[in-house]
Amino acid sequence: MRLFYTVLLLITLSSALAQTRLTGRVTDRQGNGIPLANVILADTYDGATTDNAGMFAFETFETGTQKLVIRFVGYKDFEQAVILGGKPLVIQATLEEAINELDAVEITAGSFMASDESRRTVLKAIDIATTAGATADIAGALNTLPGTQKVGESGRLFVRGGDGNETKTFIDGMLVLDAYGPAAPNTPSRGRFLPFMFKGTSFSTGGYSAEYGQALSSALVLDSRDKAEMTRTDIGLLSVGGDVAHTQAWERGSIAGKLQYTNIRPYFGLINQEIDWKTPPASWEGVGAFRHQVGKTGMVKVYGNMSRTDFSLYQHDIDNPASRVAYALQNDYRYINGFYKDVLSERWTVRGGAAYTYQRNDAHTGTTATLETEEGIHAKTVFEGTLTDKIELKTGAEVLQRHYRQDIRTADMPTGVRAFDETCAAVFAEADVYTSNRFVTRAGVRGEYNTLTDKTSVDPRVSMAYKTGKVGQVSLAYGIFRQTANNTWVRLQSDLEAEKAEHYILNYQRITGGRTLRVETYYKRYRDLVKYTGTADEPILLNNTGHGYAQGVELFWRDNETVRGVDYWVSYSYLDTRRNYLNYPASSMPAFASRHNASLVVKYFIEPLKSQVGTTYSYTSGRPYDNPNQASFNNGRTPYYSDLSLNWSYLPKPYLIVYLSCTNVLGRDNIFGYTYSDTPGTDGLYNSRPVRQAAPRFLFVGIFLTLSKDRLVNQLPTL
């Protein structure tokens, strides 16, 4: 008996003290071993790390039912209950791949991202600001990317055979009615928004998300910065004015204000200009931004800017240059945008906001006064959710209301009024379905109702991306896009149909270290474009029978690895486009289109000189113009355009920057087109005058000083 108890005791003891040995192998779905995975006996110290073959082995004194967890970055946790009782256990674990931002394929067809936060982007936010020749203009920098056609006298973004109006700008998802400042006829306008305000820029040359409507060719989506990290004051002394900005930051928010005065008069006094200015442009601009964190996860952003610009000039008659007419313009602009985002639950987030734009142009030509006002309100709410770990859904609704009015007053004539109101309501939904980290399909649909036409439309958008290997991927995109016809026509006939475009895009992209290669080809079909007979000033029979197409191939290469300190990119776009719209007598290449566009952007950091130098070379082949002295329409070709720009930033102190830039250093006399007199001369020929650059070069000097507690920051990213 005693022996029996002794034996029993020994057995009990030994089982209590017995170690259990766990061994096994951890693999992915293909059966490849996963090295360095963490094998965890939950809530104990016990466990192991897998070896190169995915094998592990460890012993534990724990007993009973326990949970075994196997974890590795990029995979979902593997969990299995184990009963520990001294008997060796063999575990075979297959880890499921987790769809994650860093490894998952991205849809890149048509889209260029510039962001600091997402790491696989082609551009960084700072690239927008430091591109030579762009003079810190967002459109100027994006004009060095493929898909754009340089239209030197406009300054706007012309994308893939599209007109400048076909590109729409969105700030935090909210539409901006007119993203460009006023400019004299045939001089380039600048964007109203400075690149440094944004942490991310997504420039899409086609096939964009169902979230964005009222844009035929391109969506420029800008994400404003979150709360400022530090209190600082920035002072800028420019050759054409000055600015002062102050940012106050606190733990949960920040507020910033900026006042800028630009006066180009003294500069134009020094340098001979092509334009006969009476008073060159001067403007005041005020900008304010407020950021505040709400609760644990919410963020409120308010941004507003207002400006007043005025200038006046003389327009000379082509046939009789001594005869001139004064033209004066005063532009008032206000924009305010309120944005809110918050996390609703583990799976859902909400964002939304409202934007208001007001614009007033008071123009005087000779004895005619034209007062043009446009007001717009845009409100939007978007819900984004993760339905499963492989399906993401985005859905939302928006309303855009616009009021447009033009008053024309001429001496001894009744006031002419042209006005319209538009309400456009839209709903959209879009799902990203990941089959694996290698393959994603995005399917979306956008429904719109427009009061101008009293019609409802439904537009599909589909894109796909597939990773061909570790570094390469192929994307496809298709979509139908629509946009209300230009104000110029709608104010005359408000029930014009929306213009439509259909995009087909195929893209290949590979990123290896510091080198990026992109090749993209596309076909775009235009339908329901505005058409009329007569002249642009007095159109007759406005209708929507216009149509056209654009197709092309584009290349982009960027390399910041091969030569130390040197970062460069090359882009090339080939475009074949024809349209039969407006009062075109036949299908023809429009005047803003150009067959070949190429850019080379180089940035070089010279450490001993504490300087960054940059240069941009742009080439655009000749553009069509219509020569009334020739029988066929739009048959003329301007000479090619080329521009070599340089910039130099010198940082003598962490808080001080001296900045110098010059466009067109070679002084090429670029000609953008020709204007012809309305009536032929006695010889039956129409006289012409070339449309030239306002001045061959634009030289800019600025000194920027930043005052802050840390003295480490400077304004480089704002330049």
Partner 1 sequence: MKHLRLSLLVLLLSGISLSTIAQGDRYTSAMQPHIHTVYTVDTVPSLQNAVNAFERIGAAEKTRWEPHYYAAFGCVMMMNHEQDKLQKDRYLDQAEKALAQATALVPQESEVVALEGFIYMMRLSIDPAARGQKYAALASQTFGRAVALNPENPRALALQAQMQYGMAQFFGSPTTEACATARAAMEKFATFRAVSPLAPQWGQSLAEKLQGACKE
| Site of interaction with partner 1 (CB under 8 A) | 35-36, 38, 40-49, 71, 73, 102, 116, 119-120, 124-127, 229-230, 513, 567, 605, 607, 610, 651-654, 710, 712-713, 716-717
Q: How far is the CB of 185 from partner 1 (least distance, A)?
A: 38
Q: Are residues 296 and 336 in contact, defined by beta-carbon separation less than 8 angstroms?
A: no
User: What is the CA 153 to chain-centroid distance, rounded?
Assistant: 22
Q: Are residues 230 and 172 in contact, defined by beta-carbon separation less than 8 angstroms?
A: no
Q: By C-beta, is 336 or 716 nearer to partner 1?
A: 716
Q: By C-beta, is 126 or 570 nearer to partner 1?
A: 126
Residue 181 CA to residue 188 CA, distance in Å, equals 9
Q: By C-beta, is 298 or 652 nearer to partner 1?
A: 652
Q: How far is the CB of 137 from partner 1 (least distance, A)?
A: 20
List of residues 6+ apart from 558 with CB closer than 8 A = 122, 515, 516, 567, 568, 569, 570
Q: By C-beta, is 36 or 666 nearer to partner 1?
A: 36
Q: By C-beta, is 605 or 648 nearer to partner 1?
A: 605
- The three-class DSSP label of residue 113 is strand
Torsion sign over Cα 534, 539, 545, 547: positive
Q: How far is the CB of 36 from partner 1 (least distance, A)?
A: 4
Least Cα distance to 155 among 124, 110, 185 occurs for: 185
Q: How far is the CB of 39 from partner 1 (least distance, A)?
A: 8
Q: How far is the CB of 172 from partner 1 (least distance, A)?
A: 19
Residue 460 CA to residue 446 CA, distance in Å, equals 6
Residue 582 CA to residue 545 CA, distance in Å, equals 9
Residue 425 CA to residue 527 CA, distance in Å, equals 22
Residue 449 CA to residue 491 CA, distance in Å, equals 19
Q: By C-beta, is 330 or 708 nearer to partner 1?
A: 708
Q: By C-beta, is 39 or 177 nearer to partner 1?
A: 39
Report residue 707 as tokens: 């005052």
User: What is the CA 669 to chain-centroid distance, rounded?
Assistant: 31
DSSP letter for each residue of 505-565: EEEEEEEETTEEEEEEEEEEEEEEEEEEEE-SSSEEEEEEEEEEEEEEEEEEEEESSSSTT
Q: How far is the CB of 441 from partner 1 (least distance, A)?
A: 24
Q: How far is the CB of 124 from partner 1 (least distance, A)?
A: 4
Report residue 478 as tokens: 């298709």
End-to-end CA distance of the chain: 94
Q: By C-beta, is 269 or 652 nearer to partner 1?
A: 652
Q: How far is the CB of 7 from partner 1 (least distance, A)?
A: 32
Q: By C-beta, is 48 or 529 nearer to partner 1?
A: 48
Least Cα distance to 285 among 197, 352, 164, 175 occurs for: 197
Q: How far is the CB of 717 from partner 1 (least distance, A)?
A: 5
- The three-class DSSP label of residue 488 is helix
Question: Phi/psi at 169 (nearest 5 deg)?
Answer: -105, 135
Q: By C-beta, is 208 or 655 nearer to partner 1?
A: 655
Q: Which helix (H) or strand (E) holds 266?
A: helix 265-270
Q: How far is the CB of 378 from partner 1 (least distance, A)?
A: 30
Residue 529 CA to residue 547 CA, distance in Å, equals 6
